[in-house]
Structure 1
């Protein structure tokens, strides 16, 4: 085997990405995607997170789902096997209604908040719960009074320190927040630490009454600071969690309200080394008033909140308004928007089952794909046949498909109605998997050929990755993705970082067999430590599977 420098690599048709990628050749008539109904979740999926390449963990609120816990109570949490479409119930004792989650740096998920008691469950308002998916037969452990005060609709984020931030919420369930129940504080949980004390956060007072599930994104920097962009209602701040101070205020986002119950969506767009990991946040959808006939906002705003002269750059959301949209960062560096409705706002239906009045209607069946580089929308995609409204979710899978589930715009399980409790799981196949091009195959990472368990890597490490390329004229890109914790149009800690490919070695006897040197992100502010996935693409076609990795500080 021999090392090929950049010019011969280009001559051979293998391109390496260390900056914004060139656009690969596109077929004359690109496919439009595909929807497949693949399984029965048995548990309504109000909250989900992908634990590895095979499993999605699901969490609901208290209601009579299709399966039971070992103690006979209705199961409100379970594990969905992507390969077999089977479900294993998990055990909980506290109500998880409208909670949140994010991973510690050691791979344990912290889940926090909830609601009132019922159906054999205890109150969950102050509960914290822990689960480590890598454990054999993993199950929940709980501290029912773990938090000092109650949190319903909190936000959460994995921090560069490896700790987890919990922010905001209210003392009980509500349509919109009010001063009597508002919890305008945050707390930071450490691995194995005690009960933290809440810290006041003025934005969650200033943004009343639309401050529940505030948008929250950790910001990259090269000063090892724990900075985050926090947004609620129509405005936000950059905050330093080490110093406990507001660094800057961000201008108001025009158009309307973006937070629950006029629920929009916020995503940190892919971070690129060629742009020095410049953070750009994109907030889309929402509404102007709590009125069931009010059209959802067909607008988005993009902003770099760290820019001293930060201003919103507006977009039309592809031409369709959505309330309660979900966003999924795709391996190609584009964003999939799906789910939600075109009128109304978040909440349960009113009136009797046989004559319900839904607060949100006109489902948005057709997904859109947004290209952050060209700022263009792909809107001519195949629509789903399932309405995904209140309490819908979606997440990226190992092979580049997207798993979609949920929708339950009523207080209890209801079937046979216009928008029933939805247990059907769908798989969306994006157009990049229908080009006819062959997927590359990852054969080793950091010397390991065991690729279904997390491989530890360190920041700034150059990791050797061997692949079999997909095409003769290859165009290779790589990215590290945290697939996040999804609920209520939020992807807590969802994150995409493009990686530099610094060199390639190919086998002269088999030019499809290539060894890549891939540089990991430079520090924990770019992507916090803990579980992530390495994706390799050839001409925008993902490898047959992603590799679970665990980012760690160097010893």
Structure 2
């Protein structure tokens, strides 16, 4: 369905009102869909070098991505000459500069505070004289300063392979992990607790969580998402192994157990990927979780899981709706929500599990094999998969994928060995690729955002509030008829180990839509933001507008906050 605007207009003070109520609620959920692509399969382009292996990736500004690695002998050096383990990657120059981390970040996690500060927690024990232990370290990245501050030893227990989540109140939650490294978790090193930062009581404390004991040994990097609700409760979907629960964080108790997902294991090291499908006001932001890939067996020759499950989280007695993951099994896939609401599945292996190779040189045995080079594009409305253009770079253990505000996708990483190794079949990978999705292949000129709330878009975050109606000026080359627009707000998240912590996509209502007759091809939109922070957490996000007949606009950076 190609949505068309009502074909009437009248002049008001130099502005032409195209349709006073261009409202996403006018379109039933069943009629929402991913934007139609122009028939191409997209393309990969190698653009630069990450400097450090991209074990973790997070978009910190419209044209900057921060990578985080473990302690190893990267060629990029800190000012003191020691190999760096974090870099800032400039998307305009495709160059990386070292950042100042001095504790081991191996297999840590991250998420954003509501005030726009990035928090990164945990890691591994000391590894070499130039670095200190990171298992009880909390790190803060201030985008204004552009570097890290490390708070060593403040985390009350060791955290290796935890998950993290931005909460509706703007704090972050750190969930699970183990107290020491292992191929898979064990009772003696299990950390079946969570903590909140900043701490509500003034002191960081660990709170027990039964799921993290029940789900052993496959409970590392557990899946955690906020469940939207109109009551303002902090309800969480929490999942590990094959089992999920609904957890009331305010009351500190499990409300009920969801049915186990059929098929294989979905948690590290039989790693799958999860995503909350795009939320819409048309059905009161009814959430559906999708979990894909993994493996049935810890054996390295075991074929990866070729299934995905969808589950409606607030529907009574809901059951998993399963599919065949497009016909391709993947362990360690990455799932990235694109600007049009489609899901890009990329990276991963067709055999084995997450973990380092064993042995050296010709005797190396890789525990993940058969790299999957072809991404799949999933339409969450039609429930269909499309095979896209292939990469030439194997990206398996320690790979990442994240949406960039210009509508492309940054893909980097892959390092299935304990230290930098370049002379093996699957070497430490520093090449950065940009994948251009099919929706950007069109001859129609690309529109762009001029301003938001009368503030020019200059890569700085613009403060907006829940329920607020914001005014946006955009330039869209018209073909003679009004454009058919949709709007969305996206939080790009923090990516590591096939999980994108706090990633969220929400359709926005366009409540007014004007043509500015004083400026050619210029339109003024009024867009209504989500009603509360359970729909999308506070913090840095991007507002997008896209037209069914042209490429999407580059995202406008915003800091979503609670009105005071």
> Fold match, TM over 0.5?
yes
1:425-480 CA distances to partner (integer Å, 9 max, x unpaired)? 00000000002222211111011114310000000000000111244241111111
In the alignment, structure 1 segments of 5+ residues that lack a partner are none
Deviation at 1:143, TM superposition (A): 1.4
1:16-73 CA distances to partner (integer Å, 9 max, x unpaired)? 534446559857x601101100001111010010001110001000001011112322
Structure 1 match to 2:147: 139
Whether the 8 Å contact between 2:66 and 2:89 is mirrored in structure 1 is yes
1:351 aligned residue (347, 350, 359): 359
Whether the 8 Å contact between 1:238 and 1:306 is mirrored in structure 2 is no
Whole-Å separation in 2 of the counterparts to 1:471 and 1:327: 33
- 1:178-189 aligned at under 5 Å gives the runs 178-189=186-197
2:325 aligned residue (317, 323, 331): 317
Whether the 8 Å contact between 1:30 and 1:435 is mirrored in structure 2 is no
1:6-25 CA distances to partner (integer Å, 9 max, x unpaired)? 55269979965344465598
Whole-Å separation in 1 of the counterparts to 2:478 and 2:34: 12
1:264 aligned residue (259, 272, 281): 272
Whole-Å separation in 2 of the counterparts to 1:351 and 1:370: 38
Deviation at 1:153, TM superposition (A): 0.2
Deviation at 1:249, TM superposition (A): 0.6
Structure 2 match to 1:102: 111
Structure 1 match to 2:372: 364
1:145-174 CA distances to partner (integer Å, 9 max, x unpaired)? 111110100000000000000000001110
Structure 1 match to 2:412: 405
Asked if 1:528 is matched to 2:554, the reply is no
1:290-330 CA distances to partner (integer Å, 9 max, x unpaired)? 11111101100000122221210001101100000001010
1:462 aligned residue (443, 447, 469): 469
Whole-Å separation in 2 of the counterparts to 1:211 and 1:491: 16
Whether the 8 Å contact between 2:288 and 2:312 is mirrored in structure 1 is yes
Aligned residue for 1:370, secondary structure, equals strand
Whether the 8 Å contact between 2:104 and 2:131 is mirrored in structure 1 is yes
Asked if 1:294 is matched to 2:297, the reply is no
Task: Go from structure 1 to structure 2 and tell me whether the alpha carbon gap of 1:409 and 1:281 turns closer, same or farther (over 3 Å shift).
Answer: same
Asked if 1:66 is matched to 2:71, the reply is no
Deviation at 1:503, TM superposition (A): 1.0
Whole-Å separation in 2 of the counterparts to 1:9 and 1:261: 58
Aligned residue for 1:141, secondary structure, equals strand
Whole-Å separation in 1 of the counterparts to 2:229 and 2:562: 16
Whole-Å separation in 2 of the counterparts to 1:65 and 1:193: 40
Structure 2 match to 1:250: 258
Whole-Å separation in 2 of the counterparts to 1:421 and 1:9: 58
Deviation at 1:407, TM superposition (A): 0.1
Asked if 1:81 is matched to 2:96, the reply is no
Asked if 1:122 is matched to 2:129, the reply is no
Asked if 1:236 is matched to 2:244, the reply is yes
Aligned residue for 2:127, secondary structure, equals coil
Query: More deviation in 432-441 or 216-225?
Result: 432-441
Deviating runs (4+, > 6 A) in structure 1? 9-15
Structure 1 match to 2:14: none
Query: More deviation in 412-421 or 188-197?
Result: 188-197
In the alignment, structure 2 segments of 5+ residues that lack a partner are 11-16
Aligned residue for 2:196, secondary structure, equals strand
Whole-Å separation in 2 of the counterparts to 1:293 and 1:260: 16
1:227-266 CA distances to partner (integer Å, 9 max, x unpaired)? 1100000011010111101111100001010000000011
Aligned residues: 548
Name the TM-score, length of structure 2 as normaliser: 0.94
Structure 1 match to 2:350: 342
Query: More deviation in 266-275 or 68-77?
Result: 68-77
- 1:276-287 aligned at under 5 Å gives the runs 276-287=284-295
Task: Go from structure 1 to structure 2 and tell me whether the alpha carbon gap of 1:108 and 1:22 turns closer, same or farther (over 3 Å shift).
Answer: closer
Structure 2 match to 1:484: 493
Asked if 1:36 is matched to 2:55, the reply is no
Whole-Å separation in 2 of the counterparts to 1:73 and 1:192: 38
1:265-293 CA distances to partner (integer Å, 9 max, x unpaired)? 11111111111101100000000001111
Whether the 8 Å contact between 1:442 and 1:543 is mirrored in structure 2 is no
C-alpha root-mean-square deviation of aligned residues, in Å? 2.0
Whole-Å separation in 1 of the counterparts to 2:393 and 2:499: 20
Whole-Å separation in 2 of the counterparts to 1:252 and 1:41: 39
Aligned residue for 2:238, secondary structure, equals strand
